[in-house]
Amino acid sequence: MKSKIWITSFLVSIVILGGCSKNNSDSDNNMEHSNMTQEDMQMEDGTEGDMENSHMSHNDPLTLNDSTGENDLIIPPVLEHEDDEGIVYNIEAQEGSTQFFDGYQTETYGYNGSFLGPVIRVNRGQTVKIRTSNKLSDETTFHWHGLELPGEADGGPHQNLKSGESRIIEFKVDQEASTLWFHPHPEGKTSEQVYKGLAGLIYIDDENSGNLGLPSDYGVNDIPLIIQDKKFDDQKQLNYQEAKNEDGTIGDALLINGTLNPKLTVNNEKVRLRILNGSNARNYTFKLSTGNSFVQIATDGGFLNKPVTLNEIKLTPSERAEIIVDFSGYDSSSDVALINEDETILLPFAINNQLIDSGNIPESLNDFAVTDEERNLPVSKKLELFGMGNMVTINGKQFDMERIDFTQKQGVTEIWEIYNKPDMMGGMIHPFHIHGTQFKIISIDGIEPPENEQGWKDTVAIQPGEKIKLAVKFKNKGIYMFHCHVLEHEDNGMMGQVKVE
Ligand code: C2O
Ligand code: CU
């Protein structure tokens, strides 16, 4: 019902947007249009929209339910590889059904299973082959988000696989230890396929990560958390067309690693959480219910130089962070959970009274640096993000597979300046992502990024009105996408192509 209102007209949708965003906290609300005043809300003829009614008809879709903690968090399996002809992994996109609710089978998509996928774990320096197979009835692609690999292996919309087709890609892992992920990228269909369950993690290990002494017992004190919100219909189905919102589909049901109402049992020790915001559009601000701090050790593409102590961390769609939470001060009677900014309980923790000495987090983790040379480079590419709904653009244009928007030389660093141009409503956050590279944030509105963003990134959250400078270098050649990672914005054409030669 709600979605029908959305498509009636641009102006009506503006009013609805305003109506629901005004009562919601900044980061929770993907549809936020900041700095809104009553004036902004007026129609062009000077009349005011009927905000009360439109708000009521919106059925409060933005509120996420608390996790009751009744289900143990699912830990995705680590994918085994064949060793006969080098390192070969098999990844199959499949249709299946998954039980989220007692007595209901939900039709879903998954990799090598019915929902989400396994963790592909590789070492830096390895040559890896992945046999990708499309067992869906629809076309798809296999995109490796955050991997620095040749354009032809990147799995953007050009590398379409029809139903039944398969393809082997091969690449050398040539970047540092990090938590990356993979998901489909077929033109115009990414949001629906991710929403139905296609996503998985990629871990890269290297010498440094092996020597730091960080918590690394997979599934015990080194825990992946794929955070997604969904909307189940009356039949407990993920009906994308019904849930769809052109400005970013959100839901009231939280899934972590595909677990509804998850709980995680931990020992009295330091636990590393590798968090991926795998949602179509929702932003999260993660905190501990106790108000205690935690430390962030890694960004999208690698370790920070040193651990950064935080009370909260905000992740927009597709961003990752590795954080370490020290549970040694708690016991089984402690009430502690990972919560969202508005206090929604995302993941309650159960504490095993088993004190384990997990040592200290090293003071020095990496040698990431922005050089003076990079800081002084002139801007050579300018991008302007603008619009909302299905009228989103980059530099006034919508995605065209036949059009190359930029070219860049392999191995040459360029400064990209990205401006999120506000609209009459204020605008919204666009998480801006570039394929095939890990970049550095040089500045945000002329100012150095916060300490916890001074590391390798492949997605950066850009607030309305903000101008961000990135130092971007591609190690490989090919055609790469850049786009907003609100998946509906991507599908609606807020995407362009850079050709690296
Ligand atoms: Cu995670 Cu172009 O995508
Ligand atoms: Cu966007």
> What pLDDT, in 10s, does the model give residues 144-169?
999 999 999 999 999 999 999 999 99
128-140 average pLDDT score: 97
Query: Any idea which of 174-183, 287-296, 347-356, 389-398 has the lowest mean pLDDT?
Result: 347-356
The phi and psi torsions of 450 (rounded to 5 degrees) equal -60, 155
> Residue 319 above 80 pLDDT?
yes
Q: Which atom of ligand 1 is nearest to the CA of 318?
A: 1
Ligand 2 center to 423 CA (angstroms): 13
* pLDDT value at 472 more than 60: yes
β-bridge mates for residue 32, sequence order: none
44 C-alpha to ligand 1 centroid (Å):
36
Ligand minimally distant from the alpha carbon of residue 494: 2
Q: Domains in the chain, please, with CATH? A: 2-60+369-500 (2.60.40.420), 75-211 (2.60.40.420), 222-355 (2.60.40.420)
Please say whether the beta carbons of 431 and 459 come within 8 A.
Answer: yes
**Whole-number average pLDDT of the chain:** 89
Residue in 191, 173, 175, 174 with CA at minimum distance from that of residue 183 = 191
Among all ligands shown, which has an atom nearest to the Cα of 486? Answer: 2
Separation of 431 CA from ligand 2 center, angstroms?
A: 6
Task: Tell me the mean pLDDT in the region 190-211.
Answer: 98
Name residues contacting ligand 1 (CB within 6 A): 143, 145, 183, 185, 318, 433, 435, 481, 483, 485
Radius of gyration in angstroms for the set of CA atoms belonging to the chain, rounded to a whole number: 22
The one-character DSSP state at 457 is B
Give the whole-angstrom CA distance, residue 484 versus residue 496. Answer: 10
User: What's the 264 CA to ligand 2 centre distance in angstroms?
Assistant: 32
Those residues with Cβ within 8 angstroms of residue 9's Cβ, 6 or more apart along the chain or in another chain: none
Q: Among all chains, which residue has been given the structure tokens 């498509």? A: 7
Gap from CA of 197 to ligand 1 centroid (Å):
15
Q: Is the pLDDT of residue 55 over 50?
A: no
For the cut 90, the answer to whether the pLDDT of residue 336 exceeds it is yes
Atom of ligand 1 at shortest distance to CA of 459?
1
Which ligand 1 atom is at minimum distance from the Cα of 156? 2
Where does the pLDDT of residue 85 fall: very low under 50, low under 70, confident under 90, or very high at 90 and above? low
Nearest to 352 by CA among 469, 240, 269: 269
Give the tokens for residue 476: 């490989």
- Predicted confidence (pLDDT) at residue 47 exceeds the cutoff of 50: no
Instruction: Quote the ligand 2 centre to 172 CA distance (angstroms).
Output: 32
pLDDT bracket for residue 355 (50, 70, 90): confident
Q: Are 96 and 108 contacting, i.e. CB atoms less than 8 angstroms apart?
A: yes
The whole-number pLDDT of residue 84 equals 62
Residues 182/144, Cβ–Cβ less than 8 Å: yes
Dihedral sign for Cα 299, 302, 305, 307, please. Answer: positive
Give the ligand with the smallest distance to the CA of 484. 2
**Average pLDDT of span 301-305:** 98
What distance in Å separates the CA atoms of residue 179 and residue 351, rounded to the nearest whole number?
A: 26
Looking at the CA of 393, name the nearest ligand. 2
Closest by CA position to 367, among listed 419, 302, 322: 302
What does the pLDDT average to over 293-299?
A: 98
Q: Which parts of 33-84 fold into alpha helices (H)?
A: 51-57
Least confident among 78-92, 104-118, 321-335, 425-439: 78-92
Determine if the pTM surpasses 0.85.
yes
Neighbours of 385 (CB within 10 A): 23
> In this predicted structure, which of 84-98, 114-128, 407-421 has the lowest mean pLDDT?
84-98
Closest ligand 1 atom to residue 483 Cα is 2
More confident: 332 or 251: 251
Residues of the chain above pLDDT 90, percent:
83
Average pLDDT, stretch 336-356?
94
Biggest distance spanned by C-alpha atoms of the chain: 71
Residue 181, pLDDT above cutoff 80: yes
**Residue 11: strand, helix, or coil:** helix
7-21, 61-75, 287-301, 328-342: the lowest-pLDDT one: 7-21
Residue 304 confidence class, pLDDT cut points 50, 70, 90? very high
- Of residues 191 and 17, which shows the higher confidence score? 191
pLDDT given for residue 277 in this prediction: 98
Q: Is residue 193 predicted with pLDDT exceeding 80? A: yes
Tokens of 340: 């969202």
Which residue, by CA, sits nearest to atom 1 of ligand 1?
Answer: 145
pLDDT value of position 422? 96
Mean pLDDT of 370-391: 96
Give the separation between CA 34 and CA 183, rounded to whole angstroms. 30
- Whole-angstrom distance, CA of residue 423 vs CA of residue 25: 20
Question: Which listed ligand is nearest to 246 at the C-alpha?
Answer: 2
Catalogue the long-range contacts made by 251-254 (C-beta closer than 8 Å, 24 or more residues apart): 251/61, 251/64, 251/282, 252/61, 252/63, 252/64, 252/65, 253/64, 253/65, 253/100, 253/229, 254/64, 254/65, 254/67, 254/227, 254/228, 254/229, 254/344, 254/346
**Which atom of ligand 1 approaches the CA of 181 most closely?**
1
The whole-angstrom separation of Cα 459 and Cα 318 is 7
CA of 354 to the centre of ligand 2 (A): 45
* Å from CA of 486 to ligand 2 middle: 5
Tell me, in angstroms, the distance from the centre of ligand 1 to residue 485's CA: 6
Give percent of the chain above pLDDT 70.
87
| pLDDT of residue 114 exceeding 50 | yes
The set of residues, in sequence order, having a beta carbon less than 8 Å from that of 214 and lying 6+ positions away, is: 222, 272, 297, 324, 361, 362
For residue 211, the tally of other CB atoms under 10 A from its CB is 9
Q: Assign 57 a pLDDT band (cuts: 50, 70, 90).
A: very low
pLDDT, residue 424, reads 85
Using alpha carbons, select from 485, 492, 496 the residue that is nearest to residue 460.
Answer: 485
Residue nearest to atom 3 of ligand 1 (CA): 145
Contacting residues for 381 by C-beta, under 8 A, at least 6 apart: 406, 408, 414, 415, 416, 417, 472
What's the pLDDT tens digit per position in 437-466?
999 999 999 999 999 999 999 999 999 999
Beta strands (DSSP E) in 216-293 are 222-230, 253-256, 259-260, 262-268, 270-277, 284-288
